[in-house]
């Protein structure tokens, strides 16, 4: 996922597809720099969602009537769309979930409960989102496994030497983020998966921040599981997926029971459907899945590699303008290694005050611990301000961020 010289995105044309970006916030033109929390949605995604409900609404995989067939076809085509987008060999590799959090909980339960036992090591990193920490803590508590961590260096990268040393201890599983939601750091996923495979360690990649921002190919990455959320990638909230290497299904037990995931149910016991349906109990978010496919169509038309290059440019502009203001930017120095995410601390100012002053200028950023409290602790802060860019942001908006922070610094200095 590196930046390459490519034709620039037509940002003005892209922005026309996002009506919300033409609105105002606090009487000023909206500058939306919070896409790492959730992205805005293009017209085609909203239309796909409403179109499903207006023309195809029916439960999926259940009835034989015309609408049910239409809905099921659209839903299963969306699964195939996800598989193609992430380079999975077959639609069956995609399990629908509510998002990354549910996908990671699914692995920790369906695979973890069967394969992790007392004394086994679960390897994580210090830069994980709570969604890739808490499910493993719960698994460790249930099974008596030990948690181990790859440390983060001062410049916000994984300590790769330590990662390889920990992998040499042959942990059962290594769960790590492809891209930090705080530091923006893009981790060397393929190399880490290769080392894990050599150690007999199963890999779980948190792709929540990676998939929206660059091309993803799970086959080339060589991971066993890859989790992501639709809503950070132009899609609706409430849908995402766990992409599984097919062989992993043989080592997983169902984790939620109910309708759909069964083959035969008796009063005392049941047998289960084949994967991926085995892991999809209950009525799925069918309309959202279909709209997610529309989001991936949109992203692909924009060329994920061009999106990445655009974000590197905006990140560079923001970092260059912020540095002279005396702010501390967490994470790698090189914008190419952290596309789209600029998290910073303004000494003497509370991040919520910074965010509130920016909001007064119509600029939306996130302030807080970003669901990464251990990482905040690692860098000796309780909270930070995070600006995150996406394909629809402009160079002017990156500059507006720095102007806003400069004004905040001057306001509080007075």
In the window 196-215, what residues touch ligand PLP (CB under 6 A)?
Answer: 206, 208-209
The nearer residue to ligand PLP, 78 or 349, going by C-beta atoms, is: 78
Which of 3, 45, 131, 211: binder of ligand PLP (CB under 6 A)?
A: 131
Q: How far apart are CA 76 and CA 73, in angstroms?
A: 5
Q: Which region holds residue 264: left if phi is over 0, alpha if psi is between -120 and 50, else beta?
A: beta
187 binds ligand PLP (CB under 6 A): no
> Residue 132 CB, nearest distance to ligand PLP (Å)?
6
* Sign of the dihedral through C-alpha 406, 157, 380, 366: positive
- Residue (of 182, 296, 176) closest to 236 by Cα position: 296
Q: Identify which range of 9-17, 127-135, 187-195, 285-293 contacts ligand PLP by CB under 6 A.
A: 127-135
229 binds ligand PLP (CB under 6 A): yes
99 binds ligand PLP (CB under 6 A): yes
The nearer residue to ligand PLP, 208 or 349, going by C-beta atoms, is: 208
> Residue 318 CB, nearest distance to ligand PLP (Å)?
19
186 binds ligand PLP (CB under 6 A): no
Which of 39, 72, 101, 384: binder of ligand PLP (CB under 6 A)?
A: 101
179 φ, ψ (degrees, to nearest 5): -150, 130
Q: How far apart are CA 203 and CA 252, in angstroms?
A: 14
- Mapping DSSP onto H, E and C, the string for 7-48 reads CCCCHHHHHHCCHHHHCEECCEECEECECCCCCCCCHHHHHH
> Residue 228 CB, nearest distance to ligand PLP (Å)?
8
125 binds ligand PLP (CB under 6 A): no
Q: Identify which range of 41-49, 98-106, 147-155, 259-267 contacts ligand PLP by CB under 6 A.
A: 98-106
The nearer residue to ligand PLP, 371 or 399, going by C-beta atoms, is: 371
76 φ, ψ (degrees, to nearest 5): -75, -30
> Residue 108 CB, nearest distance to ligand PLP (Å)?
13
* 193 a catalytic residue: no
Q: According to DSSP H, which parts of 217-371 are helical?
A: 218-221, 286-302, 304-322, 351-360
Question: 330 with 379: CB under 8 angstroms?
Answer: yes
> Residue 207 CB, nearest distance to ligand PLP (Å)?
8
The nearer residue to ligand PLP, 33 or 400, going by C-beta atoms, is: 33
The nearer residue to ligand PLP, 210 or 357, going by C-beta atoms, is: 210
35 binds ligand PLP (CB under 6 A): no
DSSP secondary structure string for all residues of 356-399: HHHHHTTEE-EEE-TT-HHHHHHTT-S-EEEEE--TT--HHHHH
177 binds ligand PLP (CB under 6 A): yes
Question: 230 with 288: CB under 8 angstroms?
Answer: yes
> Residue 264 CB, nearest distance to ligand PLP (Å)?
33
Count, residues near ligand PLP per rule CB under 6 A: 13
The nearer residue to ligand PLP, 129 or 166, going by C-beta atoms, is: 129
Which residue is associated with the tokens 């009835």?
Answer: 63
100 binds ligand PLP (CB under 6 A): yes
Q: Strands 384-388, 24-25: parallel, antiparallel or unpaired by DSSP?
A: unpaired
Instruction: List b or e across 91-106, with b for residues whose CB sees 16 or more CB atoms inside 10 angstroms.
Output: bbbbbbbbbbbbbbbb
The nearer residue to ligand PLP, 101 or 201, going by C-beta atoms, is: 101
x/- letters, 364..393, toward ligand PLP (CB under 6 A):
-------x----------------------
Q: How far apart are CA 55 and CA 74, in angstroms?
A: 11
**Which positions are catalytic?**
371
User: Which residues would be at the binding site for ligand PLP (CB under 6 A)?
Assistant: 99-101, 129, 131-132, 177, 181, 206, 208-209, 229, 371
């Amino acid at each position: 996922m590196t930046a390459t010289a490519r034709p620039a995105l037509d940002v003005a044309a892209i922005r026309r597809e996002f009506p919300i970006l033409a609105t105002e916030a606090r009487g000023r033109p909206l500058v939306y720099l919070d896409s790492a929390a959730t992205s805005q949605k293009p017209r085609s995604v909203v239309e796909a969602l409403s179109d499903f409900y207006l023309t195809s609404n029916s439960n999926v995989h259940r009835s034989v009537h015309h609408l049910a067939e239409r809905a099921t076809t659209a839903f299963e085509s969306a699964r195939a769309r996800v598989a193609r987008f992430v380079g999975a060999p077959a639609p069956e590799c995609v399990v629908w979930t509510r998002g990354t959090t549910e996908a990671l909980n699914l692995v920790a339960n369906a695979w973890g409960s069967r394969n992790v036992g007392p004394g086994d090591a679960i390897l994580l990193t210090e830069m994980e989102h709570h969604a890739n920490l808490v499910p493993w803590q719960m698994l460790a508590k249930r099974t008596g496994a030990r948690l181990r961590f790859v440390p983060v260096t001062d410049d916000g990268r994984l300590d790769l030497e330590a990662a390889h040393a920990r992998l040499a201890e042959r942990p059962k599983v290594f769960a790590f983020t492809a891209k930090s939601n705080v530091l923006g750091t893009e981790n060397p996923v393929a190399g880490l998966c290769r080392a894990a495979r050599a150690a007999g360690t199963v890999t779980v990649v948190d792709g929540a921040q990676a998939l929206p921002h660059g091309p993803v190919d799970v086959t080339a990455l060589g991971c066993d599981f890859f989790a992501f959320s639709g809503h950070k990638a132009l899609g609706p909230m409430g849908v995402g997926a766990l992409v599984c290497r097919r062989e992993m299904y043989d080592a997983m037990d169902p984790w939620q029971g109910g309708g759909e995931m069964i083959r035969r149910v008796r009063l005392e016991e049941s047998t289960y459907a084949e994967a991926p349906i085995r892991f999809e109990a209950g009525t799925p978010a069918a309309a959202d899945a279909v709209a997610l496919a529309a989001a991936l169509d949109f992203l692909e038309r924009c060329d994920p590699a061009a999106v990445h290059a655009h974000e590197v440019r905006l990140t560079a502009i923001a970092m260059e303008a912020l540095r002279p203001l005396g702010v501390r930017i967490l994470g790698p120095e090189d914008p190419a290694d952290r596309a789209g995410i600029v998290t910073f601390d303004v000494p003497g100012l509370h991040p919520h005050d910074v965010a509130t002053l920016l909001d007064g200028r119509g600029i939306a950023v996130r302030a807080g611990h970003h669901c990464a409290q251990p990482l905040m602790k690692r860098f000796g802060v309780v909270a930070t301000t995070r600006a995150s860019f996406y394909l629809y942001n402009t160079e002017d908006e990156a500059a507006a961020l720095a102007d806003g922070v400069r004004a905040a610094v001057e306001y509080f200095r007075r």
